[in-house]
C-alpha cells in the first residue's frame, strides 16, 4: 500500500509526533509498504508531485527533547502562517491508499484534521473519527461522558485562567490538586499543587497553552494505563517514575520511568481496568484504538484521568508496550492499524 504518514503540526506535542511518525514510516517500509512522511504544518515543497514522495527507504528517527517545543519559533520558521494544514498535504492524502495519523494534540487529536479529511472525501485514515477525537480531547466533556457511563473520574471543575477566581479551586477542590489545560496531552502545562501559594503559578503555567483549564482533586495511588485495540483492552501497564512524577520530561526521557507490563495487579483488577477502559472508549465514540489513563488508589478503586485518541508511538510510548505484551510487535501493530484504516 501507499501510506501517507502525517506528523508534526503546530502543537506542544509536535516533537513527540515527529518521533512517532518517523518510527511508523520506517516500520511500514520494512514491511514492504511505500510511505510518505510529511509535517502537516509545513506541508510539502511547492511543485512536488505527491506520488514522488512515496518510498520504501528508511528515515532518520526524531528525538524528543526534555521540554515542549517553542511554537512561536516554529510558526516564525513558516513565515507566521496561520493555516494549520500546509500546502500539498490534502493532495498527498488523496494520493495515498491509507493516511496514518501520527499527530498528537491540537488539530491532530481534537477532531479538526479528521473532519477536514472527511469533508475532502478522504475516509481511509487511522484512528477515531472527528466525533471521538473531539469528545476525548476536551477533558471536561470527556469526564462528564465517562462519569455518566459509569467510569469513575476525579472530582474537578472547569476553570477559565483569564477570569476565574483561584479561590473557587481552593474552596471546591482543595489541596493537593492537579491543574491542567483542558485539551492538551503529554502532561504539557500540568502542575501538581499542594498549597494555595502554588496555585497561581500553576494556573499561569497551564494558561500558556490555553485559557480553559481543569482543576482536579489529586488521587494518590498507582498510575496505570490500558490501551484499546480494535475495541478490546490490551494488558495494562503500571508506570513508576524513578524521580518526581510522570511529567513531560519523564515521559520522553529514556530510562526515567519503570514501566511494568503486564501490570502487577490481581486478575480481578486486570479485568476491571479493561472493562472500564472499554466502557470509556465506547462512551466517547472512539474507533480503532486509544488509551485510557488511570490511578488505582489505596482502597483498590480505579479513577480514569483521561482518554487518548492518538496515543504515542515513540520508543518510550505505552501502546506499543501493551501490544507487545499481547504478542503484537511494533511493525505488526503499525500494519494492523493501516489495514483497519484501509477497510473503512
CATH number where 184 lies: 3.30.1490.20
In this predicted model, which residue has the larger pLDDT, 232 or 251?
A: 232
Percent of the chain with pLDDT over 70: 95
Of 189, 217, 245, at which residue does a domain stop?
217
CATH number for the domain including 249? 3.30.470.20
Q: Give, as one character, the DSSP assignment of residue 235.
A: P
Do 147 and 276 fall into the same domain?
Answer: yes
Q: Are residues 32 and 94 in the same domain?
A: yes
- For residue 332, is pLDDT > 50? yes
**The last residue of a domain, from among 168, 191, 217:** 217
* Catalytic residue of the set 15, 109, 293, 322: 293
Mean pLDDT in residue range 307-322 = 89
Could you tell me if 310 and 322 lie in one domain? yes
Q: Which of 88, 111, 185, 312 is catalytic?
A: 312
Does residue 336 carry a pLDDT above 90?
yes
What are 292's strand-pairing partners? 226, 307
* pLDDT reported for residue 131: 97
Are 227 and 276 found together in one domain?
yes
99-125 confidence digits (pLDDT tens): 999 999 889 999 999 999 999 999 999
User: 72 with 123, same domain?
Assistant: yes
Question: Is the separation of the CB atoms in 113 and 10 below 8 Å?
Answer: no
In this prediction the pTM is: 0.90
Catalytic residue among 8, 308, 317, 322: 308
Per-residue confidence (pLDDT) for residue 256, from 0 to 100: 63
Q: Indicate if 308 belongs to the active site.
A: yes
Residue 250: active-site member: no
In this model, does residue 250 exceed pLDDT 50? no
* 110 tagged catalytic: no
Q: Are residues 144 and 251 in the same domain?
A: yes
The separation between CA 129 and the C-alpha centre of its own chain, rounded to angstroms, equals 14
The CA distance from 20 to 314, in Å, is: 5
Residues 34 and 106 in one domain: yes
Average pLDDT, whole number, for the chain? 93
CATH code for the domain in which residue 22 is found: 3.40.50.20
pLDDT interval class at 248 (50, 70, 90) = low
Query: 26, 136, 186, 317: which one is catalytic?
Result: 186
Residue 62 annotated among the catalytic residues of the structure = no
- 90 half-sphere exposure, CB direction, 13 A CA radius: 14
138 is catalytic: no
- The structural domain count of the chain equals 3
Q: Which domain holds residue 224?
A: 136-152+220-329
Catalytic residue, from 22, 41, 132, 291: name it. Answer: 291
Instruction: Identify the three-state secondary structure at position 165.
Output: coil
Domain co-membership, 143 together with 269:
yes
Looking at 230-288, which runs of residues are DSSP E strands? 232-233, 237-241, 257-260
CA distance 274 to 236: 8
Is the domain of 183 the same as that of 263? no
Least trusted range by pLDDT, from 41-45, 67-71, 331-335: 67-71
- 146 and 285 in a single domain? The answer is yes
Sign of CA dihedral 218, 190, 146, 216: positive
Same domain as 305, residue 227: yes
Last residue of a domain, one of 217, 232, 259: 217
Interval 145-183: pLDDT, tens: 999 999 999 999 999 999 999 999 999 999 999 999 998
- The predicted pLDDT at position 254 comes to 57
- 142 and 265 housed in the same domain: yes
Is 268 an active-site residue?
A: no
Amino acid at each position: 500500500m501507499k501510506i501517507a504518514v502525517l506528523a508534526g503540526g503546530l502543537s506542544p506535542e509536535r516533537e513527540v509526533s515527529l518521533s512517532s511518525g518517523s518510527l511508523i514510516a520506517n516500520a511500514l517500509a520494512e514491511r514492504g509498504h511505500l510511505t510518505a512522511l510529511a509535517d502537516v504544518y509545513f506541508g510539502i515543497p511547492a511543485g512536488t508531485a505527491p506520488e514522488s514522495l512515496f518510498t520504501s527507504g528508511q528515515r532518520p528517527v526524531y528525538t524528543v527533547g526534555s521540554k515542549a517545543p517553542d511554537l512561536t519559533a516554529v510558526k516564525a520558521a513558516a513565515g507566521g502562517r496561520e493555516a494549520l494544514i500546509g500546502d500539498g498535504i490534502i493532495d498527498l492524502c488523496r494520493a495515498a491508499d491509507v493516511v496514518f495519523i501520527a499527530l498528537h494534540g491540537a488539530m491532530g487529536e481534537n477532531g479538526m484534521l479528521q473532519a477536514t479529511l472527511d469533508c475532502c472525501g478522504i475516509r481511509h485514515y487511522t484512528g477515531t473519527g472527528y466525533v471521538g477525537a473531539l469528545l476525548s480531547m476536551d477533558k471536561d466533556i470527556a469526564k462528564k461522558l465517562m462519569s455518566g457511563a459509569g467510569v469513575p473520574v476525579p472530582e474537578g471543575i472547569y476553570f477559565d485562567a483569564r477570569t476565574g477566581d483561584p479561590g473557587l479551586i481552593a474552596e471546591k477542590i482543595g489541596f493537593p490538586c492537579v491543574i491542567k489545560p483542558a485539551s492538551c496531552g503529554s502532561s504539557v502545562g500540568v502542575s501538581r499543587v499542594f498549597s494555595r501559594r502554588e496555585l497561581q503559578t500553576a494556573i499561569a503555567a497551564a494558561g500558556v497553552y490555553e485559557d480553559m483549564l481543569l482543576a482536579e482533586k489529586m488521587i494518590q495511588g498507582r498510575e496505570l494505563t490500558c490501551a484499546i485495540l480494535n475495541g478490546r483492552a490490551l494488558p495494562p501497564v503500571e508506570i513508576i517514575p524513578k524521580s518526581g512524577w510522570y511529567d513531560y520530561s519523564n515521559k520522553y526521557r529514556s530510562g526515567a520511568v519503570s514501566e511494568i507490563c503486564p501490570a502487577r495487579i490481581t486478575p480481578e483488577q486486570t479485568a476491571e481496568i479493561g472493562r472500564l477502559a472499554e466502557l470509556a472508549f465506547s462512551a466517547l465514540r472512539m474507533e480503532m484504538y486509544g488509551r485510557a489513563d488511570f490511578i488505582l488508589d489505596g482502597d483498590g478503586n480505579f479513577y480514569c484521568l483521561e482518554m487518548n485518541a492518538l496515543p504515542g508511538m515513540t520508543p518510550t510510548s505505552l501502546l506499543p508496550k501493551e501490544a507487545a505484551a499481547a504478542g503484537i510487535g511494533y511493525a505488526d501493530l503499525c500494519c494492523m492499524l493501516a489495514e483497519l484504516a484501509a477497510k473503512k
